[in-house]
Structure 1
Amino acid sequence: MTPPHATPVGPDLPMPFTHAGVDQLVSIWLAQLDVIRDLAEELTAEQWAAASPCPGWSAGDVVAHVLALESELHGAPLTDHEPDWAALPHITSDFGRLTERAVDWYRTKGQDVVVAELIEITAWRRDDLAHAWNADSDPNEVVTGPLGLELPRERLIRTRILDTWVHEQDIRTAIGIPGGLRSDAAWVCAGQFAFGLPYVWGKKAAAPIGATLDLTVTGPGVSFERLVQINENGRAEFIERTATPATVSLTLDWPTYAAASAGRLNSDSTGALVANSCRGDDQLAARLMPALAVTP
């Protein structure tokens, strides 16, 4: 299914899967769950315990998080487990407490049990989605997602694809085995990240009227270009390439851009990227790099 993109997707072209239907997106979601399952089955005990880019979480904790969310979507009851919050200093928000509760509960079960449950839930989710969500499903119908969030069906699917692909990368980073950079799920994630660029440039980085961002993502796997400008009304919008130099030009490889957009880079890393990967207005570039993060 992976689209053959030998050259970057230009700023005037839509990202792959922009107009994908519910059935195609569901297939990508399920394929990505299979990837997580297959990775989890191969993890050694040492790899399971390896620290991931998610603060306080091991690779095994990331697996447990994916399992917890898909189990909730399947209809499994939420755990009433109460963690020892004093022993979890990485939890600093209400959202963190919501996600940590199930992860900490799975820590009490052990690797073999978590993997077995993941294998089971992956099969159940395939059955769930095959029967309930198909080409005739309304992409705009509001449905209930993980943690009780209500959002349009298509947005939920794209969000789940993004979440599972990013967590695949978290696991791979933890164990030092790269991969999955050119999958269909990777392209869906790229589309989600790129879609958020006007918000990143206009709201989070607070670029002034007339300021232009020129982003180039060089691969491997995913490569594209996007230009965003603040129009005369103060709104950020995508534009086609012009002869006028951009206010800020940012060139990143795909793994780094994905990590930045997923909030996986620390301040030292973003500072280095400003110095090495940005050209143009230094102050705007310094605001842009941390602003790229668009996930919770």
Structure 2
Amino acid sequence: MSLHPSLQSYADAWTHSVEAISELVQPLPEAQWNLATPCPAWSVRDVVSHVIGLDCEMLGDPRPIHTLPRDLYHVRTDLQRYMEMQVDVRRHHTGPEMTAELEYTIIRRSRQLRNETRQPTTAVRGPLGTEQTLEAAMRLRAFDVWLHEQDLRTALGRPGNLDSPGALVARDMLLDGLAKVVAREAGAPPGTAVVVDVQGPVEFLRTVRVDAEGRGSVDGSPSLGPAVTLSLDWETYVRLAAGRVRHEAVGDRVKTEGDPELARAILDNFAVTP
């Protein structure tokens, strides 16, 4: 037996992105490990620590026994505390220590994936003692590693891979939250249609429709006379939906048509990642 076909695309996307991360950070001088990334309060070292830590958890490794400092003011929720543990425990690691652990983790995870025979529905450990299916966990890892690859590329001034396998996983993950943004967070009234038109390396047009009960749904059909149309490039869509930037900072890259108040409410609530 081998990896279930429905998991293969996530394994391929993870591999592509994590190997790109390794290539990006391998030659870095020590000072560049401290560069700030678009991921709030995290440096290059912190982002790589996060990638290593969560892949170690996918391997079943025990979580580190570590007490977080009290002055980490960006850590406010239980989920943030959970994620910060794997990051803070490596904050004093040198560049060579980081790259060595990353390479070893990639080798171990790649071997695990080659030998993976579990079904997609198998329950695996999730954050904060939760359980999730293996398929959901692998999909999230593919998305997370690609997104952090982009964080590192931004910090290091090395753009690329905006159309890689991980980008397609990210597209679907981010679109999963679009209906909630429009219908619940922005409060679009029943009967409203909102069109999001994205151009660039990953192109798509989606319409969010709000039904009579106020529930939102997303489809690929155009709408005649939508209440709002948002037009933007793929990179800007990712940065907004992943909470890496506020829309005020990229206003020149987002074109809005229709109801200005609803458009602003949508953009104010566009981030769908925790």
In the superposition, the TM-score normalised over structure 1's length comes to 0.84
What is the letter of the counterpart of residue 194 of structure 2? L
1:36 shift after superposition: 1.8
The Cα offsets for residues 130-179 of structure 1, whole Å up to 9 and x where unpaired, read as: 1124xxx4323332235543212222111111111110111111111111
The letter for the 2-side match of 1:165 is W
Question: Structure 2, unaligned stretches of length 5 or more?
Answer: none
8 Å CA contact 2:28, 2:95 repeated in 1: no
Equivalence for 1:249: 229
> Aligned-pair RMSD on alpha carbons?
2.0
**1:170 maps to 2:170:** no
Work out which of the residue numbers 256, 262, 266 in structure 2 matches 1:278. Answer: 256
- What code does the residue aligned with 2:27 have? E
**Partner amino acid, structure 2, of 1:48:** W
1:81-138 deviation per Cα after TM superposition (whole angstroms, max 9, x unaligned): 223222x2222222222222221110122221111000000000011121124xxx43
Tell whether the 8 Å contact from 2:193 to 2:223 is kept in structure 1 after alignment.
no
Residues 1:85 and 2:70 are matched in the alignment? yes
Alpha-carbon contact 2:205-2:220 (below 8 Å) kept:
no
Among residues 167, 180, 184, which one is paired with 1:199 in the alignment? 180
3-state DSSP of counterpart to 1:269: helix
Which whole-Å deviations, capped at 9, do the CAs of 1:190-223 have from their partners, x for residues lacking one? 111122222221122221111111011101x211
Match of 1:107?
91
* Structure 1 alignment gaps of length 5 or more: 1-19
| Residue type at the aligned position of 1:132 | E
Would you say the 8 A contact 1:67–1:118 is kept in 2? yes
Shift of 1:67: 0.6
Q: 2:106 aligns with which of 110, 122, 126?
A: 122
Q: TM-score, normalised by structure 2?
A: 0.91
Residues 1:289 and 2:270 are matched in the alignment = no
The SS at the match of 1:214 is strand
The verdict on how the C-alpha distance between 1:75 and 1:238 changes in structure 2, with shifts beyond 3 A counting, is: closer
Name whichever of 247-256 and 199-208 sits farther off.
199-208
Report SS of the residue matched to 2:119: coil
Residue 290 to residue 44, structure 1, CA distance change in 2 (3 Å): farther
Task: Determine if contact 1:32/1:164 at 8 Å carries over to the other structure.
Answer: yes
The runs of at least 4 consecutive aligned structure 1 residues that moved more than 4 Å come to none
Distance change in 2, residues 1:210/1:159 (3 Å): same
Give the letter for the 1:47 counterpart.
Q
The count of residues paired between Structure 1 and Structure 2 equals 270
> 1:226–1:238: 8 Å Cα contact kept in structure 2?
yes
Give the counterpart letter for 1:74 in structure 2.
Answer: L
Distance 2:106 2:128 in 1: 19
How do residues 1-296 of structure 1 correspond to structure 2 at under 5 angstroms? 21-86=6-71, 88-133=72-117, 137-219=118-200, 221-239=201-219, 241-242=221-222, 244-266=224-246, 268-269=248-249, 272=251, 276-296=254-274
Kindly, what percent of the aligned residue pairs are identical? Answer: 35
